[in-house]
Amino acid sequence: MSASTQAPTREAALTLMLRQGEATAAQLADQLSVSVQVMRRHLRSLEDEGLVEASPAPEGPGRPSNRWRLTAAGRQHFPNGSEHFALGLLSSMASSLPTEMVEQLLQKQASEKASDYRLLIGEGSLPERLERLVDLRRSEGYVAEYCPNPDGEGWVISEFHCSVMKIAEQFPCVCDQELQLIRHTFPDCKVERVHWLLDGSHACGFLLQSC
């Protein structure tokens, strides 16, 4: 396999693990239409680079199969935007302003950005508006998708890569801003957080149900 062929396969495998949380070599090989042997070589190479890690998991009778997932370095492989500037700005604000004022400023920012989102996604059914929002979020550096709620009514937005992850690690209040942003963008819906990267989930997820 040439280097030009290897690179897209490696990137596709990383993206699948980002979206799915974890997967076996056989599952990745099946989704990418390559042999399991080829996929295992890719995974070992990615493991050597510190981008993925494996843990054994029972898959039925016989020897346990490795389930592969991204490491912290693997997540950082995806673009993070201008987090260094934002971290410096938030640090300066946190050191010079009361906590309540910082939170108020973040809430104001969420409200203003939601107004922009509402204009950009326009009108339509909830799935139509969700599709437009997900496209916007992808253009901002998020790896996002939406799907029907597997546990019942409503829809779930999942963001597998957060473009402000490093900021959120130091300032979790940014995550509260994200929740408020989705709520302001869809005022006709009840919005709750159902998954959280900072809590160990493989994605941040928001459940939307029409009021």
> How confident is the model at residue 63, as a pLDDT?
63
- Length of the chain, please? 211
Give pLDDT tens digits for 112-159.
Answer: 889 999 999 999 999 999 999 999 888 887 888 999 998 889 999 998
Question: In terms of domains, do 96 and 200 share one?
Answer: yes
> How confident is the model at residue 61, as a pLDDT?
60
Question: In terms of domains, do 201 and 115 share one?
Answer: yes
Domain harbouring 119, CATH code: 3.90.1520.10
Question: In terms of domains, do 117 and 201 share one?
Answer: yes
Q: Which domain holds residue 38?
A: 3-76
Task: Tokens for 157, please give them.
Answer: 């937005």
Question: In terms of domains, do 16 and 70 share one?
Answer: yes
Highest mean pLDDT among 1-15, 23-37, 195-209 belongs to: 23-37
Average pLDDT (166-190) is 85
Give pLDDT tens digits for 27-75.
Answer: 999 989 899 999 999 999 999 998 999 987 765 565 667 899 988 888 8
Whether the CB-CB separation of 152 and 181 falls below 8 Å is answered with: no
Question: In terms of domains, do 127 and 64 share one?
Answer: no
Question: In terms of domains, do 100 and 55 share one?
Answer: no
Where are any strands of DSSP class E within the chain?
23-24, 52-57, 65-70, 143-148, 155-161, 189-195, 204-210
User: Which residues, in sequence order, are bridge partners of residue 157?
Assistant: 146, 206
Whether the CB-CB separation of 148 and 126 falls below 8 Å is answered with: no
Higher-confidence position of 2 and 150: 150
> How confident is the model at residue 163, as a pLDDT?
63
Q: How far is residue 48's CA from residue 41's CA, in Å, rounded to a whole number?
A: 11
Question: In terms of domains, do 87 and 58 share one?
Answer: no
Where are any strands of DSSP class E within 36-154?
52-57, 65-70, 143-148
